[in-house]
Structure 1
Amino acid sequence: MSEQQPDINQHIAQHIRELRLAKGYSLDQLAARSGVSRSSISLIERAATSPTAVILEKLAAALDVSLASLFVFDATTSESQPLLRYEQQKQWRDPASGYLRRNLSPVSVASPMQLAEITFPAHTQVSYDFVPREVKVYQQIWLLEGEMQIHCGEQSYTLQQGDCLSIQLNQPIVFQNFTANQARYLVAVCEM
């Protein structure tokens, strides 16, 4: 299976456009809410550029959804399929940091929780600003291998293999891997 299916940016683009239109936002309104320029949003919606995870988080917050929900595809399938095989799991690579996200959760089953496996490169940092949203988003991060630091507001946590951290996305969050080895973790995301 390819690391990133060629159509994943098209899926993300279409999903963002559909969410924006469902909210009744113009490009200018979404730009004002998210802090992402109108021209960047336009490029993203046309799949003319691959947005970074930081930009996607800003758009997700402005659209009152979780970042994880932007990676949900084919959720309108009429037949419920509770099993998503490994070869069917979509992958996306953040063009800025190089982290790889594998979406694990079946999309045709209604669930308030989504699972993803993240492979986080060595010597990498990703910083998410806090953007207020109406929905509450919670994450549990279970470190499968490696070591990471996660900063939630003013609190810092060093995670080692097997550690699990539960956080709410209601403050700035920084993921860091300053070691010489990649880290790999499972993230469970729940919106309420």
Structure 2
Amino acid sequence: MPLSAEDLSARIGRRIHGLRTSRNDSLDSLATRSGVSRSMISAIERGQTNPTAVVLDRLASALNVSLGELFGETPQTAARAAPLVRHGDQVEWMDPQSGYVRKRVSPPAWPSPLQLAEVRFPAGARVAYEGGRLDGSLHQQVWVLKGRMEISQGDTLHVLRKGDCLAVRLTEPLVFFNPADQEAHYLVALCDMAAHSHR
């Protein structure tokens, strides 16, 4: 049964809280590193708000994990991980600011450095990610299945149409923009080389 928006907000909050406390990180420390206010982080951890993609990206960067990790399972749930996730059990999340919908395709908590996500990006929507990892250990590929996307990495603009695939290292700001008058649909493959090296 698909998670409700409230259930997903609670899961994201538990995941952020778990990652923060496992690092002996205070709310103030995480707020300073992420640029997200202490009160906002507290509200997110309690599942009282649905944060935007930009806020989640800032927190993921400060916690040194990929954005996808924030939608993951807690270690207790991960102990029951399975290599198969059915279509109806894949978790969807909508960015409250842009309206883009992200579906986690990969089996939750399965021990793999590769994560897949399916994205439906509304016409005219724009999302600017500031995060990333300076060591270049986060690799991402975007494969456009329908529509058109403009993806800017630093000063470089890439125009992607159906069938195009862009590979980037998440080391600098990344801006996603749909300039068309129809929804874009694409697949994201993310590989966290640092996490893989620690296994």
Structure 1 residue ranges (4+ consecutive) displaced by more than 2 angstroms after TM superposition:
1-6, 73-80, 130-135
CA contact (8 A) 1:8 1:92 kept: yes
2:37 counterpart letter in structure 1: S
d(CA) in 2 for partners of 1:153 and 1:144?
A: 24
Amino acid at match of 1:73: E
Return the alpha-carbon distance in structure 2 between the equivalents of residues 109 and 83 of structure 1. 9
CA contact (8 A) 1:64 1:134 kept: no
Is the CA contact 2:14–2:74 (under 8 Å) kept in the aligned structure 1?
no
Q: Which residue number corresponds to residue 28 of structure 2?
A: 28
CA RMSD of aligned residues (A): 1.7
Asked if residue 152 in structure 1 is aligned to residue 153 in structure 2, the reply is: yes
Which stretch has the larger CA shift, 110-119 or 128-137? Answer: 128-137
Does structure 2 retain, via aligned residues, the 8 Å contact 1:64–1:135? Answer: no
Q: CA deviation at 1:43?
A: 0.8
Give the superposition deviation at 1:178: 1.6
Q: Distance in 1 between matches of 2:131 and 2:109?
A: 30
Give the corresponding residue for 1:10: 10
Deviations 1:132-190 (A, max 9, x none): 56672110000000001000001110000000000011001100002110001000011
Where is the helix percentage greater, Structure 1 or Structure 2? 2
Paired residue for 2:169?
168
CA distance in 2, matches of 1:142, 1:161: 8
2:190 match: 189
Separation in structure 1 between the aligned mates of residue 144 and residue 3 of structure 2, nearest angstrom: 21
Return closer, same or farther for 1:23/1:93 CA change in 2, 3 Å cut-off.
same
TM-score (norm 2): 0.91
Give the secondary-structure state (helix, strand or coil) at the position aligned to 2:141.
Answer: strand
SS in 1 for 2:118: strand
Q: Which runs of 5+ in 1 are unaligned?
A: none
Q: Mind listing any 5+ residue stretches in structure 2 that lack a counterpart? A: 194-199
Cα distance, 1:95–1:5 mapped onto 2, change above 3 Å? closer
The one-letter amino acid of 1:60's match is A
Alignment map for 1:64-75 (pairs within 5 Å): 64-73=64-73
Instruction: Report how many residues are paired.
Output: 192
User: Per-residue deviation at 1:77?
Assistant: 4.0
**Is residue 2:17 matched to residue 1:37?**
no
TM-score by length of 1: 0.94
The alignment partner of 2:186 has SS state of strand
The answer for the alignment partner of 2:144 in structure 1 is 143
- CA distance in structure 2 between the partners assigned to 1:157 and 1:176 by the alignment: 10
Q: Deviations over 1:51-84 (max 9, x none)?
A: 0000000000000000011111266343442111
Q: Does 1:54 align with 2:54?
A: yes
Worse-matched range after superposition: 65-74 or 176-185: 65-74
Q: Secondary structure at the match of 1:7?
A: helix
Q: 8 Å contact 1:4–1:90 — kept in the other structure?
A: no
Identity of aligned residues (%): 46
Equivalence for 2:86: 85
- Return the letter of the residue paired with 1:184: H
SS of alignment partner, residue 41 of structure 2: helix
